Structure 1
Amino acid sequence: MSNTTNSSKPVNYDLLKRERAYLTPEHEMFRKSLQKFLEKEAVPYIEKWEEEMFTPREFYEKMGAQGFLCPQVKSEYGGLELDFGFNVVLAEELFRVGVGTLASTSSSIIVPYLEEYGTEEQKKKYLPKCVSGEITTAIAMTEPGIGSDLASMSTTAVRESDHYIINGQKTFISNGINAGLFFVAVKTDPKAKPARKGVSIILVDENTPGFSRGRKLKKLGEHSKDVAELIFEDVHVSVSNLLGAEGQGFYYLMDRLQQERLLIAINSLAVSEVMLKSTISYVKERHAFGKPISSFQNTQFEIAEMATELSLAQTFLDHLTSKHIKGENIVTQISMAKWYVAEMARRMSARCLQLHGGYGFMEEYPIARRYRDVAVMPIYGGTTEIMKNIIAKNLGL
């Protein structure tokens, strides 16, 4: 049996470090500042937020006050006008801590819809509040019985004169309780052929009459991230709340999926790194049969395999992130990364929990929460099966 490690030696993470061409010293300064903020404003409260299944709005307001939200927004709307690398850092650090992930979703996935397709009036009205943390956002697509088949949604928006009347129901809406602004996917033309041409996106403020929140849904993991049902009963909104052009909503959603799925892969990688590092530390400290379990060959092989998978995933994702920043269309490769890295994280959570033994099943060890949280990563943003369908289609199958 091999015995090449010694529990008295410090854990060597050098092999897990990486140099990324798209990150500069300014990005790392942003990271260090964010890490200090999270240590003070998030880490002490994680257990409480997990129990309450809710992260308070005050947390996002504090993030906004420190300049961490929506780093890409132009200065004329109160933002810092920074590049996508800052969004990557924001996502990584939030997922490493394991709380407040909605700040990344709102800043880097949802708000960009408003930046890209919103009118000047809409931008002036909402973007400064998104940057400050006064409001967070949610995107309402999924409906009961409808998952990835967005063209089959039944929520309608009927135009009457200068307003729309919205009726329908949404479910599994991340940040549904916390959000102040909802990007609602609706059918403005239920008879459109093909159906996707009848989909539009309408901005709905949380105080709009007829709009209400349903249940706060109980989930397997990500407990501090609220997910809810939304109900629309004769909700009247001005036509000025239409995002972009009528009938183009489906295409807008598809156009932004590349960035969303890239970020999900980045998040999955960040969590995988945390799980592996904590497991390495644990197996060096934990003794069985008079020796650290890190000295057992099975433990060494498991760690070696996971470290190899992590390093390969890091290299692939860094390559794709650089291409995305340059504006390249890499949908197929990002579909590959999204399913592979998310599935890697799910496998790694089980392997790391196993190496913790009985303690891995105890809530006092973070691996238990990570095990629950990563279960959703191969599902949201497009399931593993959908990713494989995209890849196969783009390969000409």
Structure 2
Amino acid sequence: MGVKGFSTSAVAAGIRYADRLDLGLIFSDTPAVTAGVFTTNQVKAAPVLIDVERLKQGRAQAILVNSGCANACTGEQGMDNARHASMLVSQALNIQDVLVQLASTGVIGEQLNVAAFENSINQLVAALSPENFEQVAQAIMTTDTVPKTVYRTISIGGKDVNLAGMAKGSGMIMPNMATMLAFVLTDVQISFPELHAALVSGVSRTFNRITVDGDTSTNDMALVMANGCADNPWIDEDAPPQDRQLFRDALEEVLRELALMIVADGEGATKTVTIRVCGAKENEEAERLARTVANSNLVKTAFFGEDANWGRIIAAMGRSGVRFNPDKVDIAFNNVLLVKNGQGLGKEAETAATRVLKEKNFAVCIDLKDGAGCEEIHTCDFSIDYVKINANYRT
């Protein structure tokens, strides 16, 4: 499904490997209102540093994205290479250089293969078409096993508004932003403050609620481009609240679906698990507890081994920094209550919980019985293949 006013393309540029799509381009016929959220890692890649500065104007017309090289920890040479790649595409598109957003993913510490960009940009621009969205999603993959795309159409003021989202991410995933890239294209007519607020709110409830391995990348970003081609009534501070909420909900749905795809495709993952903590004093405390459990290697290896070892869960909770009464804690796997008031319910309960652990998707539900705070984090199991993938990442 295309989004009006956008075209995309992808080519095999040979940035790191031969004969695989690794360079993608997203182009809006007109400058689009654009909002971004970026990694909180202190170590930021060259494209992130450039994008943050450029996005102060709230507009962009193109996204140039590559896999195979992160262009992170590459010094001034890396910044020059990123700017050179940007200039190549802006000249080929005949647009202002400041309207180009850059994204890179791959190995940290290696310089960008500039020749690959120089040899491929004209082909990339010539191949622009409304039909190539899926190819770009493929070009941004690194250790991902499947491309990740989501499409939505909603009606605002009697006009169809389309959204198309793509993401990559499989390992080095724990946002505050997670190694992930996400791009959403929409033809909605919206002001920058409204778009930015919708993105920040959506990311906080989706991408910032997932973890694969507890690592935050140097290159993480989520960008949303809105070109206004839907010609819907403006979504701004004066718009009807229901219109603003309708778009926010649609964007959050797209982001959530992409986020869950990332967890399901976690490196070596065989299970997707929701850690839900309720009964905390505050939502913030519930989130911290859930995140600690979700990131515990001992918990995640138990999920992989289909071992209902609830002791690892309550032990992880105990080092979260959140004060709670262990003698009030209940733990259930889906609807199977395994622990009541801090004590296990015996072999029969463990056997039933083990059956839940054999499913590909399940929830761990923790009740502290101490308040109204409730949050959930999405994670995956930690398999032998995760170690193999990351041990061999650069070879």
TM-score by length of 2: 0.22
Select the structure that is richer in helix: 1
Higher strand share: 2
